């Protein structure tokens, strides 16, 4: 089963993001507020990257668009070339 990301926008606050493991058929069904505050969560596009492949999402600072992956490492997390890939 895939993991989907859902977000809730409240005026004047940063979005609240939750991850839910659910069947693809249920991806767009309503998600109950995990804190019981009655907030409405909507599915958002999940964006992630691995360190391999020199992807187009790399930024000048060497981070992927999400800001999490250094472009100088292999997809396994080791320095590029040290794992034989």
Q: Please give the Cα distance from 27 to 70 (Å, whole number).
A: 30
pLDDT for position 14: 94
With CA atoms as reference, report the closest residue to 4 among 38, 39, 31. Answer: 31
Tokens representing 35 are: 């804190």
pLDDT in tens, 20-42: 999 999 999 999 999 999 999 99
pLDDT in tens, 58-84: 444 444 444 444 445 566 666 766 666
17 with 31: CB under 8 angstroms?
no
30 burial (CB, 10 Å; 0-12 / 13-18 / 19+) is: exposed
7 with 42: CB under 8 angstroms?
yes
pLDDT for position 84: 63
């Amino acid at each position: 089963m895939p993991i989907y990301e859902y977000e809730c926008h409240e005026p004047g606050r940063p979005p609240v993001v939750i991850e839910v493991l659910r069947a693809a058929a249920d991806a767009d069904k309503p998600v109950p507020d995990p804190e019981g505050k009655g907030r409405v969560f909507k599915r958002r596009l999940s964006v992630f990257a691995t360190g391999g492949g020199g992807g187009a999402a790399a930024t000048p600072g060497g981070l992927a668009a999400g800001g999490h992956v250094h472009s100088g490492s292999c997809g396994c997390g080791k320095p590029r070339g040290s794992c034989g890939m």
